[in-house]
Amino acid sequence: MKILKFYLIILISFFLSNCDESEMEYSLNCCGDIEKKIICLVASEDSVIADGISTVTLRACIPNIADSEITTVKFEAPEDAGSFVSEGGTNQVTKSFDLTRTATAVFTSGRKKGTYTITATVEADGKSYTDEINLVETVIQGDIIILNEDEALAGMVADSHSVYNWHVLIEGIDIEGKSIDITRTGPFKFSHDPSENEISLPLDEQGRVSFSMNSTRVAGQAELHFTLDNFTLSKHYDIFRAYPNEINIIPGDQTIKPENDSIHLDIFMIRDPGYVSAGIDLSLRAFQVFNDDTIDVGEFIPPFPVTVINEVNSPNGSVLFRLFPDYELDTLQPLIISCSIVTENGVSVVGNKAIPVVE
C-alpha cells in the first residue's frame, strides 16, 4: 500500500511539473478548446432554421497567452447565409473583446438552406488569425395547397361578372397567429379590395383561408403568388374571352341610297350573364342576294374592328359602311350587313341586319 501511494505521488508531481499554467488558463478561457490557437470560435447551435428570423449566438475568445494588443475580432459569413443585422452590420461585424477576452455576436439566418462557413478573424503581429465553424441552415418541410384547383378555376372567363373562390390549406407549418400574403398580377381583382395588388389574410385554426377574385373584361394570363414565412407558391391561370350569345347591328339610318352612300353602324354584343370581353375580332360583310348568290357591295372603316370595353347601353364596336365606287345597289333587294365572330372552341355567332335600299 505504501508503495502504491509513493508511485501515485510521483505521477501527480510529474504531471504538474509538465503542465504549463498558461495552457490550463487557455483551456478554461477559450471556448474549452485545448489546442493552442490565437482565436477560437464556437456557436450556441450547430444548425438553425433558414427562415430569415432565427438566430444563433457566436462566441469568439483568445487565450491569455495571446498578444494582449488584440482588442477586436471580425465575424464574417457568406452573403447567402444571413446577416448580423441585429448587430448593426451586414454579413460581417467587428466586435470588441471584454475583460474575459471574449466577444459575442448574434447572427440571423438567411432564407436559403445549406451549410455555411462562419469565421472569426483577429490581427496580431501584422498577421491574420482565423478560426471557423460550419453552420447548417435547414428548411422546414411544408406545403401551401390550393384545395379547389380542378374546379371552376380551370375555366375562368373575362366577363366582368363571374366571381371565383380560392380555398387554401397550409400544412406542416407553424400557423399560430400568422397570415398569408397573396399578390396578384394579370386581369382579375381581389373581390373585397379591387384596387389592391396584394392582400394579407389571417389563417384559421386549421391553417385554412378563403378569398375571392372578380373577373374583368380583359382576357389573358394571370398569376397568384402566395407567401408565408419562408414558403412560397406561384400559380398561373388562363382567363378566356367571354363571347356573346347574340349580336345586334343598329344602323344610323333606316335606309340607304343605291349609289355613293354610306351608313354608320353600331354593334352590340349581348351576353347573359355578364359582359363580352374586350379585344374580340369582328368579321363584317355587306352584300345583296341574287338567285341564292351573294355579292359583296362595299367596305368597312375600320376594316378589322375589335370589341371594346363599353359602358351600359353603348356599343361594343362602331364602323362606317361605304358602298364601292360606281356600284349601284338593287332597290328590289335589301342590303344585308352581317357581323360574325368565331369563339376559341370554333363556334360561330352571327348577327344580320337588313337595310332597305331606297332611291
**pLDDT the model gives residue 30:** 56
Taking the C-alpha atoms of residue 7 and residue 85, their distance in angstroms, rounded to an integer, is 58
DSSP states of 149-209: TTTGGGGEEE-S--EEEEEEEEESS--TT-EEEEEEESSEEESS-TT-SEEEEE--TTSEE
Closest CA to 71 of 37, 103, 93, 42: 103
4: pLDDT strictly greater than 90: no
Domain ranges of the chain: 21-138, 143-241, 246-355
Q: Count CB neighbours of 346 within 10 A.
A: 6
Identify which has the larger pLDDT, 196 or 12.
196
What is the arithmetic mean of pLDDT over 323-350?
94
Global pTM value: 0.63
What is the arithmetic mean of pLDDT over 156-163?
96
Residue 317 confidence class, pLDDT cut points 50, 70, 90: very high
Residue 138 confidence class, pLDDT cut points 50, 70, 90: confident
Sign (positive or negative) of CA dihedral 298, 304, 307, 310: negative
Q: Name the range with the highest mean pLDDT among 67-71, 305-309, 321-325.
A: 321-325
**pLDDT the model gives residue 1:** 47
**pLDDT the model gives residue 306:** 92
Does the domain at residues 143-241 carry the CATH identifier 2.60.40.10?
Answer: yes
Secondary structure letter of residue 87 according to DSSP: G
Residue 286 confidence class, pLDDT cut points 50, 70, 90: very high
C-alpha cell at 14: 510529474
What is the arithmetic mean of pLDDT over 268-282?
94
Superfamily (CATH H level) for 246-355: Immunoglobulins (2.60.40.10)
Equal CATH topology for 143-241 and 246-355:
yes
**Contact indicator for 46, 135 with CB cutoff of 8 Å:** yes
CA distances from 290 to 141, 293, 332 (A): 74, 5, 10
**pLDDT the model gives residue 3:** 46
Q: Which of 115-119, 129-133, 135-139 has the lowest mean pLDDT?
A: 135-139
Closest CA to 188 of 223, 155, 154: 223
Q: Name the range with the highest mean pLDDT among 13-22, 218-227, 308-317.
A: 218-227
Superfamily (CATH H level) for 21-138: Immunoglobulins (2.60.40.10)
